[in-house]
Amino acid sequence: MAASFMIAVTGGSGSGKTTLARALHARLGPQTCQLLTEDHYYFGRAHYGPAALTMEHAQLERTFNFDDPANKDMAHLRRDIEALKRGESIEQPVYDFSVHDRKAGAVRRIEARDVVIVEGIHVLSDAGFKPLFDLTVFVDAPADLRLIRRIRRDEAERGRSAESVIRQYLRFVRTAQTRFIDPVRHICDIVVACEAAADLDAPPDADSVERLVAPVWMQLQKMGVASQG
Find the length of the chain.
229
Q: What are phi and psi of 118, to 5 degrees?
A: -115, 120
CA 74 to chain centre: 13
CA-CA distance, 110 to 57, in Å (whole number)?
A: 29
| CB neighbour list of residue 90: distance below 8 Å, 6 or more residues apart | 80, 83, 84, 109, 110
Residue type, 193: A
Q: What is the pLDDT of residue 164?
A: 82
Angstrom CA distances, 213 to 25, 139, 161, stand at 11, 10, 31
DSSP SS3 for 174:
helix
| CB neighbour list of residue 221: distance below 8 Å, 6 or more residues apart | 227, 228
Average pLDDT along the chain, 229 residues, taken 10 residues at a time: 91 88 96 96 95 88 89 97 97 92 94 97 95 97 82 77 83 88 95 70 74 94 88
Looking at domain 5-222, which CATH architecture does it have?
3-Layer(aba) Sandwich (3.40)
CA-CA distance, 187 to 90, in Å (whole number)?
A: 28
Query: pTM for the full model?
Result: 0.90
